[in-house]
Amino acid sequence: MSEKTTIYDIAKALNVTAATVSRALNNNPKISAATRKLVMETAAKMNYKQNKLALALKSGKSNNVGVIVPYIDRNFFSAIIRGIEEELYPLGYHVIICQTHEEESAEVDNINALLNAQVDGILMSVSKLTTQTSHFEHVLNKDVPLVFFDRKKDVKGVSTVTIDDYQAGYNATKHLIEQGCSKIAHLSGDWALEIYQNRYKGYKQALLDHGLEFNEDYVIKTKSDIKAGHKSVETLLALDTPPDAIFSSSDYVALGVIQELKKRGIRIPEDFCVIGFSNEPFTKFMELSMSTVDQLPVEMGKMSAKVFLEQVKESSVKIEKKVVLAPSLKIRATSTKK
């Protein structure tokens, strides 16, 4: 027996044709139950492994789905992956996970690798450095379903699953206003991503709708890390009229804000209110639990998988769905004055 058993080895052992073995392994109804059982038992004894890629090429279905995220080690993205897996695993699908580290070139490489692996679909969150859309169109030209979640580009034929970032920004700012805050700053992310633009727009509109002045000095674009929160507080408190609240587009930045305010002896929430964004696990376990916007990542993952399944089911029809989930505001200690 060779190192790698083939269907010809099994056929020789049973004195049948290779075609019979192939049909039995693939549950062809033309093969009797007795023959199929004998072939399966012999294949197991001879340690035969089917070539999944060859089967995918032959059947046009691999039961593998590609998932591309900027970073795997962020709770938000890992929770989305969990939601996708919970929806797809019971149906026999396996998930192949790739990360881009926010690089467009890595995104292109990941897509090409997944297409070469004959995946049945690609679910992804776009890198913030992505400017081109030709690699997305390449996926569609291959008739492979493509679903964007959270971060997206406007590409015809691509379904999307997002939360209402505009409403999330509006609700967070409105809550701060209801707590008596009147000078509210906003720490935004990179506006190359539509999600941060929409959160900013919601923030600004909430101010205007409640008769508060919009102050450009109160808006700072930051990286999504703790250090950015420290630096932003330094900048804002140095203003002639410093703010009395911050709505941050990142929980990590909001954590840095809280640390810096405490260091300066500023009481939270009595003198200064803070709201973050994402509902990271640490937010509820802090000494002062952090108010934040829940992005519902598990639900987003499940919905992305459901949209993919709809596209597979209706393969003869091009489906383009735009699913927008309602955000949930988690009101905790860092913003509760009343």
Q: Which residues touch 98 (CB under 8 Å, ≥6 apart)?
A: 66, 67, 68, 69, 110, 113, 114
Q: How far apart are CA 171 and CA 177, in angstroms?
A: 10
Query: Strand pairing partners for 278?
Result: 294
- Over its length of 338 residues, how does the chain's per-residue pLDDT go in tens digits? 446 888 888 888 999 988 888 888 877 888 888 898 898 889 888 888 776 555 555 555 788 999 999 999 989 999 999 999 999 999 989 999 999 999 999 999 999 999 999 999 999 999 999 999 999 999 999 999 999 999 999 899 899 999 999 999 999 999 999 999 999 999 999 898 999 999 999 999 999 999 999 999 999 999 999 999 999 999 999 999 999 999 999 999 999 999 999 999 999 999 999 999 999 999 999 999 999 999 999 999 999 999 999 988 876 557 789 999 999 999 999 999 87
H or E segment and range at residue 12: helix 7-14
Residues 67, 138: Cα–Cα separation, whole Å = 16
**Would you say 226 and 165 are in contact if contact means Cβ atoms under 8 Å apart?**
no
pTM over 0.85: no
| Contact present, 225 and 256 (Cβ < 8 Å) | yes
Cis peptide before 243 (omega within 30 of 0): no
